[in-house]
Structures are given as C-alpha cells and as structure tokens.
Amino acid sequence: MNSKQVEQELNAQKSIEESERFFRTLVETIPAAVFTVKNEHILFANTIAAHITGFSVEELQTKDISTLIDTSDRELFLEIVEQSRPMYESLKKPEKLHGKLRLITKSGHVIWVNIQVRGTTLKEKEVTIIIAEDITAKVSAANMQKKLIQWMVEVQEEERRRLSRELHDQTAQDITTLSLGLKTIEDSNLERESLKEEIQKLQKITSILGHKIHQIAFELRPSSIDDLGLLQTLQSYTFEWSKENGIPVELETISSDKTDIPLSTSINVFRIVQEAFNNILKHAQATRVSLIYEQKPEIIKIVLEDDGIGVHLEQITSANSGKQLGLLGMKERAEIAGGTLTIESGQNKGTTVFLSIPLGQ
C-alpha cells in the first residue's frame, strides 16, 4: 500500500469517526431513548435510554433489546422491526414503523413507550435504529380519565336507579294509597266524623308525597340555586340533609360578599359539597359535620369537616379505590371552576375537605 492509499484510508477512517461522533452528539440531544440494534443485540444506547430503563449504558450494550420488551408485546415489536429492514423499502411500503408497547425496567416496573423504528446500514452492516418516547404519564392519565368517565357514568346510573326505586317503591305506593282512599270516600257512606278522619289521613299522605317529590327534584337540580344563589342553597341542603339523616350539621358563614357568582361555578361548588356529604354518609360514620363558607370578591372558600372514622390517604389515592374516583370527580369539578380541592384525613381522626374557587376570572 503506497502513501497515497494510506492517506486515503486514514481520511476514510477519520470521516467514519467524525460521523460516529456526530451521530452520538445528535442522539444525545433527542428527548427520547435511542437504541442501535443488530440481530436484536444493543450496539448503542443514549443516556435517556439508560435513564428510563434504569440500566447503565454499559449494561444495555450487553443485552438483547427483546429482553427489555414485555412478553405480551414482543411479537408486535419483532413485527415492527422486521418491517423496518432496508430490504422492505425496496419491495413494498412498510405497513407499520411505529407502535405503543411496554418496556420492563431494571427494577421490574413497566413503562409505556411509543417507538419509531427504521432499518439502515452502518459500516456496511444492517442495523435497526429504535427511538422510544416514554409515554407512561400520558397512558396513566388516559387510563385515569377513562376510569373517571366510567365512574361518572356509574354514578349517574346509580342515581337514576335510586330515583327510580324511590319513585316506584314509595312515591308510587303513596299515590296508589291516595287514589284508593279517594275511591273509598267516593263509594262509601261514611259518617261525617269518619269521613273527616279519612280526609286527614289522605292529606297527610299528600303532604309526604309532595315533600318526597320536592326532595327528588332538589337533588336533581335545586331551583334555589338559580333564584336565591349558592349560599342559601347550601343552607337549605345542609338543613334537609341533617334532618333526613339525623346527623347535626353546623354551617358557619365567615363573610358573604354580594359579588355575583357565575351559575356554572355555583353548580360546580354545590355538586362538590353534595358529593362530599354523600361520602360522609356512605363511609365516615360521623356524628357531627361542620361546614364553613367564606365568600370574598375574588374567591370562595369552603371547609367541610366531619368527626368520622377517617381514612388513610394512601387508600384514597390507590389505583383501584372507589373513594379515589369520588375524590377525582370532586377535584375535576374544582378544576373546571378554576379552583383547587385538597383533603386531610387520618384513621379515626375524621376528614376535612378544603375547597377554593376563584371569582371574577
């Protein structure tokens, strides 16, 4: 080999090294994991790949890429890789060069990634470049949103079942009794005193029936919220709730500014308070409830406290907790109104809900 050939060889080697440095610099700037793979073996991995998997770059370069893929997704992964090989581009348009699948980290946790795959050649060798974006947070949020929507549908259906049951079991019976009583009066020759007693009995049934219909209508949509406003609606609701369930409720108004509250905000605040009272009735075993209402020109603040058995916060934040979904529904409404909702609780220490909703936005 003469000196010119040697020089050309050195220049070629230098060019390859510069290309490799450029490639490494480029992939380190990409906000995603990057793997270079040959026959499933990892030849190169960037620092983000190490970060999301928990393995060091050196450890990754001793592994086959398939060992990082959840077993349920390996067939999909291999199909994507096969379709990305360079020969496919000369034969037909690849059907799939991307997909969503699960990786297993060093600690054994599962993370979701969106991968893009492309076959190419490196140093005259066929390799596969895999770019993996960590979408675990997005998937978790989507799953939680799905659960929340499902929970809201279930709550709506449960409320419809409850209202239907009340209308059928109690209200319908009262109407039947009322109808039969009127028929009895019509067909009988009761003396004046007996007739008076029968009418009084029917009047009592009519009064109870009217109260129940009013109560059902109030729970569906309190008309007072349109006519009288949020505070008076809460006063009426807490009074009726306490009377119905036998649990004393203390309502304290710190200040009541006369600022008009948007109707949508009033409805959201009322529904949050309503859900909180439902939770108290279902779970708290409380003997006393207090509600503090504070309204200023710029904000509404509500503190709802019970003396019930409380709950560990880990329980209401666990993925499979029904209480978590109830809390999420309340938080969702608070966020819709531009506010925040937090909760403090402990075993046998009661539960306190803090709600803040800004006004004038």
Task: Count the neighbouring beta carbons within 10 Å of the beta carbon of residue 304.
Answer: 23
**pLDDT band for position 293 (50/70/90)?**
very high
The CA distance from 206 to 204, in Å, is 5
Q: pLDDT tens digit string along 125-152?
A: 788 888 999 988 888 887 777 777 667 6
Does the pLDDT of residue 319 top 80, yes or no?
A: no
**Which pLDDT score is estimated for 88?**
47
Cβ atoms of 135 and 114 within 8 Å: the answer is yes
**Which pLDDT score is estimated for 95?**
47
Q: pLDDT tens digit string along 23-43?
A: 666 677 788 999 988 888 998
Does the pLDDT of residue 280 top 70, yes or no?
A: yes
Type of residue at 266:
S
**pLDDT band for position 168 (50/70/90)?**
low
pTM over 0.85: no
Q: pLDDT averaged over the chain?
A: 79
The CA R_g of the chain, rounded to the nearest whole Å, is 34
**Which pLDDT score is estimated for 17?**
62
Measured between alpha carbons, how far is residue 216 from residues 151, 176, 202, 243 in Å?
22, 19, 21, 15
The CA distance from 291 to 279, in Å, is 14
The CA distance from 279 to 328, in Å, is 13
Q: 220 or 65: whose pLDDT is higher?
A: 65
**pLDDT band for position 294 (50/70/90)?**
very high
